[in-house]
Amino acid sequence: MWETDKTIDKAAQQMLKITAADGVATVWDRYEAQQPQCGFGSLGICCRNCLQGPCRINPFGEPKRGVCGADADTIVARNLLRSLAGGTAAHVDHAYEAVEALEKIATGDIDYVIKDENKLIATARQVGIETDGKDSKGVAKEVAQKALETLSGHEGEMGWLSAWAPKERVDVWRQLGVIPRGADREIREAMHQTSMGVDADPTNLLLAGVKQGLVDGYAGLKLATDIQDIIFGMPQPVKSEANLGVLNAEYVNVVVHGHVPLLSEKVLEWCRKLEDEAKAAGARGINVAGICCTGNEVLMRQGVPPATNFLGQELALATGAVDLMVVDVQCILPSVTNVAQCYHGDIVTTMPIAKVPGADHIPFSLEEADQQAEKIVRQSIESYKKRGSTPVHIPDERALIFAGFSVEAIIGALSKVNAEDPLKPLVDNIKAGNILGAVATVGCNNVKVKQDMMHVELVKELIANNVLVIATGCSAHALGKAGLLHPDATNNLAGNGLKAVLTAVGEAAGLGGPLPPVLHMGSCVDNSRIGDLLTALAGYMGVNIKDLPVAASAPEPQHEKALSIGTWAVALGVFTHLGLPPHILGSKAVTGTLTDKVEDLLGGKFYVESDPAKAAAGIIRHIKDKRHALGL
């Protein structure tokens, strides 16, 4: 039963037996081969930022300083800031692609359109653009211009932040001197600040880290979500299914993997257009499934079923049923080509910065998006024809899920209970204690944790204690596979207070039953929706975000992006749980600041706990403390 030590996902367990029998290495095997992992790296006390190194600090004795004189605190803080800049750069680059698309839509030379004019107008007004008497392309052009200033401005306060952040927060950040200018300038500055012989002051480095968190939140997450909503439409509740059982042997199976919906939306469009060609090739049609966050994007807006999350990507290929996996950027294991070679299926990379040896590269551009998507889908049909006698093992595992809970969709459901004052039923129930509080579970899988276990165990405990959960990213995938994005989970697992509220809202919204106990809000960039919801709730209750009975959790964080998102959450004043420590434990000063002292400055802090029951207890204790402070 070794496979149950690696994952709680039944489909993944079945596939692991197959890869083991076939002698195909997966992420779990490579993790084992890495043992023991380097203790210096784990503690964050190695530095290779200059050619006099690499240097490492002995946590138990000498040496206490690197060749240049940097001590453990400096090295840990510097490494953390570099990681934060890495995660932030990924989100900001993603946002840039969406902004570039909006700009080109406005000037009329690409095959994308504006699907949500209301969001365009609302966004324009919020960032201070006069919209009266202008057509939507004119407004789009100005919005794109403002967005570009947020990305590349060299002075002043970041526009997207000023437009959206609560005033109380802006004052706190301004006092600390952490309000960012343009994103590119701040990311560049973090790289400079951490280079040899620049900043040695851990406090100053950590404050720069907070600034990266704000860049991530506003120029990454929020900007990407706003522009993607404008181009692809606002998510509305959808039903779908999750897990490898969504693959279908009788269809051409196309898997979209990566992060930016500019590619996946086009591929989906062409899969629908070329159905007949697939049928002519002997298939029953084309079946599209998603992995990682681009999977969340097309789930939220199009109902495309998610096949699996981060740790399952190789296992999807091992089914032998994936005819083509097309990827853009982020969270793509370089091993996917090996696994595909052992089984079946083409791996197609599309971005100039994300190539994988052994994959086919079809460069994707906004100008030729249609031609390229068409080419990719045609290639998937050709690949299907070559499937031949490859054994196909699709685990019969799929769970029904509901997704698409944008803030607008949640308010829409609540307005069925109280049309005049939609937030009132939610807030009244929080005040009355039927809902104890709310927790956002976000982020990745990490091979160091049994796949999905932390997400699922933590959330079961929270909902049993009447905590409403909202989820994004690979956390939402994990919870979906485990049945927690379905109304049955409300009936079977939620505490009585939470169950009663979700039932009342679900019935008023015409679902004929409760809402799920976990509301799927989208991809990792959609964490901005959580920020919007918290801002709205705090505003409605007349308190600050840091006073709300809420928390965030990345139960199985893996990517640098998860650290940047977490830092933004802490900067907002949110108590933020991590199921694994980042590589900072080699500095007591840095660890102590992030898990304790920072609370006095920002109202939020990190809380690290690897046991799901203890983590739930810690989060619930925090929520109860906040309720108490509010007199609830």
Q: Which residue has the tokens 């300038």?
A: 185
CA 45, CA 115: separation in Å to the nearest integer? 49
Minimal distance, residue 581 CB to ligand SF4, in Å? 22
Binding residues among 117-146 for ligand SF4 as defined by CB under 6 A: none
Contact 80, 582 (CB under 8 A): yes
Annotate 140-172 with b (16+ C-beta within 10 A) or e (fewer): bbbbbebbbbbbebeeeebbbbbbbbbebbeeb
DSSP 412-469: HHHHTT-SS-THHHHHHHHHHTSS-EEEEE-----TTS-BTHHHHHHHHHHHHTTEEE
What is the total count of residues that contact ligand SF4 (CB under 6 A)?
A: 14
**Applying CB under 6 A, does 249 fall inside the site for ligand SF4?**
no
CA 144, CA 102: separation in Å to the nearest integer? 6
User: Cα-flanking dihedrals φ and ψ of residue 610, to 5°?
Assistant: -95, -10
CA distances to 7, 113, 556, 558 from 447, in Å: 9, 39, 9, 8
119, 120, 126, 132 alpha-carbon torsion, rounded to 10°:
-120
Q: How many Å from the N-terminal Cα to the C-terminal Cα in the chain?
A: 47
Binding residues among 349-388 for ligand NFS as defined by CB under 6 A: none
Q: Kindly give, in sequence order, each residue whose CB lies less than 8 Å from that of residue 492, ignoring residues fewer than 6 positions away.
A: none
Binding residues among 209-248 for ligand SF4 as defined by CB under 6 A: none
**Applying CB under 6 A, does 366 fall inside the site for ligand SF4?**
no
Q: Is 293 annotated as a binding residue?
A: yes
Within 10 A of 35 (CB to CB), how many other CB atoms are there?
Answer: 6
Select the residue interacting with ligand NFS from 562, 563, 602, 615 (CB under 6 A): 562
Select the residue interacting with ligand NFS from 101, 105, 124, 331 (CB under 6 A): 331
Contact 220, 86 (CB under 8 A): no
Q: Is 271 annotated as a binding residue?
A: no
CA 593, CA 276: separation in Å to the nearest integer? 60
Binding residues among 507-536 for ligand NFS as defined by CB under 6 A: 524
Stretch 38-77: interaction string toward ligand SF4, x if CB under 6 A: ---------xxxx-xxxx----------xxx-x----x--
Binding at 234: pick from ligand SF4, ligand NFS, none (beta carbon under 5-8 Å per type) = none
For ligand NFS, the closer of residues 166 and 473 by Cβ is 473
Select the residue interacting with ligand NFS from 178, 205, 292, 469 (CB under 6 A): 292
Minimal distance, residue 259 CB to ligand NFS, in Å? 6
**Applying CB under 6 A, does 487 fall inside the site for ligand NFS?**
no
Binding residues among 169-198 for ligand SF4 as defined by CB under 6 A: 196
Q: Is 342 annotated as a binding residue?
A: no
Select the residue interacting with ligand NFS from 260, 283, 474, 572 (CB under 6 A): 474
Q: Is 292 annotated as a binding residue?
A: no
For ligand NFS, the closer of residues 90 and 288 by Cβ is 90
Q: Is 55 annotated as a binding residue?
A: yes
Residue 577 gets which letter from DSSP? E
Minimal distance, residue 108 CB to ligand SF4, in Å? 50
CA 445, CA 400: separation in Å to the nearest integer? 21
Minimal distance, residue 563 CB to ligand SF4, in Å? 21
Crossing angle, helix 423-432 and helix 527-541, to 10 degrees? 70
For ligand NFS, the closer of residues 180 and 312 by Cβ is 312
**Applying CB under 6 A, does 82 fall inside the site for ligand NFS?**
no
CA distances to 66, 95, 102, 124 from 229, in Å: 48, 12, 11, 13
Minimal distance, residue 333 CB to ligand SF4, in Å? 29
Binding residues among 285-304 for ligand SF4 as defined by CB under 6 A: none
Contact 555, 443 (CB under 8 A): yes
Binding at 331: pick from ligand NFS, ligand SF4, none (beta carbon under 5-8 Å per type) = ligand NFS
Enumerate binding residues for ligand SF4 (CB under 6 A): 47-50, 52-55, 66-68, 70, 75, 196
Binding residues for [Ni-4Fe-4S] cluster, by number, are 259, 293, 331, 444, 474, 524
Enumerate binding residues for ligand NFS (CB under 6 A): 259, 292-293, 310, 331, 443-444, 473-474, 524, 558-559, 561-562
